[in-house]
A and B are shown apart, each in its own frame.
Chain A
Amino acid sequence: MTIKVALMGNPNVGKTTLFNALTGSRQHVANWPGVTVEKKEGVALYKGFRIHVVDLPGIYTLGSKSLDEQIARDYLLFESPDVVVVIADAVNPEQGLYLLLQILELRSDVILVMNAVDELEREGSRLNRYELEKHLGVHVIPTVATKREGVSELLDTIIHVHQTRPAHQPVRFRYDQTVENTIEQLEKVILSKCENLNVPARWLAIRHIEGDEIVQWFCESLPPIEGNERKKLSLQIARSRYDHINVIIREAYSGKSAPKRLPLDEAIDHVLTHKYLGIPIFFTIMYLIFSFTFKVAQPLSDLIDISVSRLAEFAKASLGENWLAALFSDGIISGVGAVLVFTPNIFVMFLGLGILEESGYLPRAAFVIDRIMYALKLSGRSFMSLILGFGCNVPAILSTRAISDPRERLVTILVSPFVTCSARLPIYVLLAGLFFPQNAGSVLFLIYASSVFLAAVSSVLLNRVLFKGEPVPLIMELPRYRRPTVKGLLNYSWSKGRHFLQKAGTIILIASIAIWFLGSFPPGNVENSLAARIGKFLEPLFKPLNYDWRITTALIFGTAAKEIVVSTLSTFYSSEGLSFTESLRNSIDPSTALSLMFFVLAYIPCFATIAAIRSETQSDKWTLVSLIYGLVVAYLLAYLVKVVTGLWLGI
């Protein structure tokens, strides 16, 4: 028998951790709100039942405006889960209980999970689950999702609630008399005018008072409520719910009352979100991460580089002088190897970003940056999406679903490709290490800082030229600080870094073979090859940037996946007697190298990102705008960098 279970709760209370514990999945978990922006599904097989679990994006109320919140609410209303599991933070339960009360007005086959009870006990407080059950009329399961504590009991309870389902009736929570009178009148109208209702009329009446547009979907002809009256009634409803929650908390918690903020958290926040120190600290942390990315990974990268070279030589020596040997050594091993060399850099960078995510620093960074973003007509919420782009632009674009303002969401999607993703890292590490060996870390930081700057400037431009209006201020509950675990960090960097390895074994491998063929046929001089013809056709366009046909071809192939730029360069710059890097260093000057880094930073994103822009904007026009804008900006920026650094370095 299958039981469909919906996991609901506020953002960052551990829904995805519980989902992973229930289903054995490995969905990405982070210590900041808004990680889950689409529903994720998994299955738990337990005691002969097939429990189909759906992890929904975090929401604070059922009357939601942003896309991810709508996904959660609509699932509850239209997908008819058999059991709803509401997860609340045991340390900070008010918001979770508020959502629970709203859901209980809709349906009562609900289980309340109080997560992170270990943290509560560490603070000297205790939760009396039976007291909570008595007040709320639902089963309450204390859990520590990170340690899988309480998971079996939850599964048992899901089965129990499912089997006793018909006995459950929506909870009738009583409000002030004025509110009750309005609800009663509306209920009568709803019952008389709206047919085939599959939600309680009382719930619909309350949603109508609270101004939820979803009401129209169920019942179109409800009498409008005047603005001030609606405001007054909504406030009364919210106040009644909070009063009720306070009573519940007072009676269900013993020891200290449920603590809201830990003194150490407050102390750390005082410095990290400081008006003047917050931004320099953020840049310091980012600088250290990028410097680590270069310095810590370099010895390992050198080791892989040597191994790849030896393997290529071995392949050549073993297979003899024929085209197959050349394909293996120059095409496959050198092409894929040129990209694999940067695997340690990718993993180290994700380890650094993982520490920021798991510790709970990222929302603080968003809070600090919000001041700058607000001036640029973006909110800190956009920053959270943009910073995700350091990993990959695709999840960054998907995460914009959490942005409630459509204008701000579109701007964030359009500028997201400027945030330099990990696929571009190999190009930067290669060129920075080769042409600026003493300051490679600083060059890397400059590129990443420029990418954020470019995204910010572009959003100002887009806002000024195309859109009008003020951004929505950032309101975010700051999560508790947590010490990152080694397991968590390794999982994080592996889950992010393995895509790089997968790409090396698939798209980069295929591209390396294709590039080798294009560069080797017709046989003879590479200058007459098919690849050279493609590159030379576009070479005049890139003459002002001093890019030859080899760089031009690499940039064209790089639109499939950015790592291919490196494998293409390695194929075309390898020559007899010189390694690829030596040959590259002899062929271009530092100003051209830096200009190339900036061109790669801004030009056309990879195919996957283009597809994500198209699907999220639902518009060919905006997808095209994004591509053309990126190309124009890349060209101008690269030219500017070329001229300025050329003058600086006297080239």
Chain B
Amino acid sequence: MAWNLINLLLSLLWFSAGILKIAGIGTPSDIPFGGVFLVIGAVFLWGVFEDPVDRPKRLSHTYVGGMLAFWLGIYSAVNLIFYQQTLYFDSGAVILSFVSFLLGIKAKRKIEAMR
């Protein structure tokens, strides 16, 4: 249940960020980059719909989503440091990526413990 909630919450946050990026609200519009946020959101959301009994499958979505978020976080951090386009949006993306990454690592440990 807890991981379902985490996946759902993360997917909502990533979807929201993606919509802001595509629509250009609080940040310049960038459709392909916004698409990346949506894909990460979709990876988390799909985890919610996995078979509740098959825990590794549900957790795998959190892990892979977290890994993708990690790279997007680095990209956003580069944007923030070198280009300083949108302070709030990029900072938010970095924080969201970091949180997703940490949860992804936790999910990975849980999967490994299930051997």
Contact = CB atoms under 8 A, between A and B. Distances in A.
B38 to A, nearest CB: 8
A91 to B, nearest CB: 14
Given A263-B115, A267-B56, A295 B82 contact: yes
A224 to B, nearest CB: 51
Interface in B61-79: 61, 63-64, 68, 71-72, 74-75, 78-79
Nearest to A352: B71
A268 B43 contact: no
Contacts, number: 79
A439 B32 CA distance: 10
Contact of B42 (A277, A287, A442): A277
B1 to A, nearest CB: 19
A277 B72 contact: no
Interface residues of B, number: 33
Contacts of A292: 74-75, 78
A281 B46 CA distance: 13
Given A264-B108, A271-B64, A442 B39 contact: no
Contact of A287 (B36, B59, B111, B114): B36
A263 B115 CA distance: 6
Given A271-B43, A296-B78, A438-B28, A264 B68 contact: no
A270 B78 CA distance: 31
Contact of B39 (A264, A268, A280): A280
A284 B83 contact: no
Interface in A295-316: 295-296, 298-299
A242 interface: no
Question: B32, B40, B75, B115: which has the most chain A beta carbons within 10 Å?
Answer: B32
A267 B43 CA distance: 13
B33 interface: yes
Contacts of B72: 288
Nearest to A274: B46
B32 A272 contact: no
A295 B75 contact: yes
A272 B67 CA distance: 11
Interface string B49-62: 00000001101110
A441 interface: yes
A295 B63 contact: no
Contacts of B32: 287, 441-442, 445-446
Contacts of B30: 439, 442
Contact of A264 (B36, B57, B78, B112): B112
A272 B75 contact: no
Question: A267, A280, A284, A291: which has the most chain B beta carbons within 10 Å?
Answer: A267
A295 B78 contact: yes
A266 interface: yes
Given A284-B68, A439-B30, A267 B75 contact: no
A287 B57 CA distance: 26
A267 B63 contact: yes
Contacts of A272: 64
Question: B35, B59, B71, B83: which has the most chain A beta carbons within 10 Å?
Answer: B71
A263 B36 contact: no
B57 A280 contact: no
Nearest to A438: B28
Contacts of A271: 43, 46, 60-61, 63-64
A272 B63 CA distance: 11
Interface in B60-115: 60-61, 63-64, 68, 71-72, 74-75, 78-79, 82-83, 108, 111-112, 114-115
B83 A295 contact: yes
B75 A270 contact: no
Given A263-B115, A268-B63, A441 B33 contact: yes
B43 A270 contact: no
A264 B35 CA distance: 27
Nearest to A263: B115
Nearest to A280: B39
Nearest to B115: A263
Contacts of B35: 284, 287
Contact of A442 (B33, B43, B57, B111): B33
A446 B30 CA distance: 13
B68 A263 contact: no
A281 B39 contact: yes
A260 to B, nearest CB: 13
B75 A268 contact: no
Contacts of A268: 60, 63-64
Contact of B75 (A266, A291, A438, A445): A291
Contacts of B33: 287, 291, 441-442
Contacts of A267: 56-57, 59-60, 63, 111
Question: A268, A274, A284, A296: which has the most chain B beta carbons within 10 Å?
Answer: A284
A263 B56 contact: yes
A277 B43 contact: yes
Closest 5 CB pairs of A and B: A267-B60, A271-B64, A284-B39, A442-B32, A280-B39
21 contacts: A263-B112, A267-B56, A267-B59, A267-B60, A268-B60, A268-B63, A268-B64, A270-B56, A271-B43, A277-B42, A281-B39, A281-B43, A283-B39, A284-B35, A284-B40, A291-B75, A295-B75, A295-B78, A295-B79, A296-B78, A298-B82
